[in-house]
């Protein structure tokens, strides 16, 4: 399959915005069709799932990978609140309605994983299965998560920093190639030093000050291996040069709003089969972060991709595809019938 980057996406007005998605395979079952829908994170695209779309097509599985709102070919509304969880999950339910199907198997990485688990809480009847990649299920915290991150990790921890209007957006837009050069690399050999959300603020220095790291980045002295080809790297750079970063950053600017508006949302996923794929060397979302998920998800399997950092579906596509297809064959046999 050569869906990327030459084949244009499909687009339609869904949930009030223009959404675009890439497709693999075909729906041969009409209203009874069940697509696998891949949800990207930040700063990524539907393109991030190119290797998974190829694997689904080869297996005869219908799959969709949207550029979610604020990204790529999809529309980027101006209002910050247009990126809250109601809108993000509503887009995906609207995508199913647009295709005339009742359910999908959702696969989510990074921010797409946060949206994935919320789909399971808010719309379990529309979820035939859920597959988390790197991002574990995280229960609603007792207080505003931004307040927690600010107290523990400092003002320049990237999620806290993103709460400032425009500042990070402009810095990242000015250094777009450096963003992807810094991010899209394999972890170094040896033990992982976690820069995750449980880290504590040390003195006046913030934990994981991503924007400042990008400002100081010099690829010439970065010893880590890249995993993108030059063509793949350029897809990300060209797209984000065109769109900027504000749409995706606005997802982060709804952390407090999402927390405030989720007090009455269900707290467990009781009826949907779930798979959690962790990554051994993800410094921000380590496998240990998924250890408590069984208390909130009734039907859960967990596997780990050895040697992978955070960008697992692109770093280790063969391993991700093998875990995903094995689970689909065992738990979603109707896709192969």
Residues annotated as catalytic (active site), given as ranges = 110, 310
133, 277 in Cβ contact below 8 A? yes
Three-state SS annotation for 79-91: CHHHHCHHHHHHH
What CA–CA distance (Å, rounded) separates 146 from 163? Answer: 9
Structure tokens at 144: 């505003």
Residue 162 CA to its chain's centroid (Å): 17
Minimal CA–CA distance to 299: which of 125, 134, 120? 120
130, 275 in Cβ contact below 8 A? yes
Taking phi over 0 as left and psi of -120 to 50 as alpha, with beta for the rest, 5 belongs to: alpha
Residue ranges in 25-84 assigned as alpha helix (H): 50-58
What CA–CA distance (Å, rounded) separates 64 from 75? Answer: 17
What CA–CA distance (Å, rounded) separates 312 from 186? Answer: 10
């Amino acid at each position: 399959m050569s869906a990327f980057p030459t084949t244009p996406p499909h687009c339609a007005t869904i949930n009030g915005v223009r959404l675009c998605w890439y497709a693999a395979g075909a729906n041969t079952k009409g209203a009874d069709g069940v697509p696998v829908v891949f949800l990207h994170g930040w700063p990524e695209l539907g393109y991030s799932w190119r290797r998974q779309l190829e694997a689904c097509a080869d297996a005869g599985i219908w799959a969709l990978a949207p550029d979610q709102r604020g990204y790529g070919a999809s529309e980027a509304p101006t209002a910050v609140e247009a990126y809250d969880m109601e809108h993000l999950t509503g887009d995906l339910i609207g995508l199913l309605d647009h295709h005339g199907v009742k359910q999908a198997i959702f696969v989510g990485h990074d921010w797409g994983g946060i949206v994935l688990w919320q789909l399971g809480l808010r719309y379990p009847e529309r979820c035939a299965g859920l597959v988390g990649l790197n991002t574990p299920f995280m229960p609603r915290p007792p207080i505003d998560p931004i307040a927690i991150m600010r107290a523990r990790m400092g003002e320049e921890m990237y999620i806290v920093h993103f709460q400032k209007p425009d500042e990070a957006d402009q810095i990242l837009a000015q250094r777009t190639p450096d963003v992807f050069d810094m991010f899209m690399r394999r972890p170094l050999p040896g033990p992982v030093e976690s820069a995750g959300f449980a880290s504590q603020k040390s003195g006046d220095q913030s934990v994981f000050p991503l924007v400042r790291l990008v400002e100081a980045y010099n690829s010439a002295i970065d010893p880590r291996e890249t995993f993108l080809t030059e063509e793949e790297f350029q897809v990300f750079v060209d797209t984000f040069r065109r769109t900027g970063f504000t749409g995706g950053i606005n997802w982060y600017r709804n952390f407090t709003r999402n927390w405030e508006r989720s007090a009455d949302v269900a707290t467990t996923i009781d009826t949907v089969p779930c798979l959690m794929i962790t990554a051994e060397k993800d410094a921000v979302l380590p496998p240990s972060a998924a250890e408590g998920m069984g208390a909130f998800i009734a039907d859960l399997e967990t596997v780990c991709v050895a040697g992978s950092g955070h960008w697992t579906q692109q770093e280790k596509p063969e391993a991700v595809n093998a875990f995903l297809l094995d689970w689909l064959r065992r738990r979603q046999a109707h896709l192969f019938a």
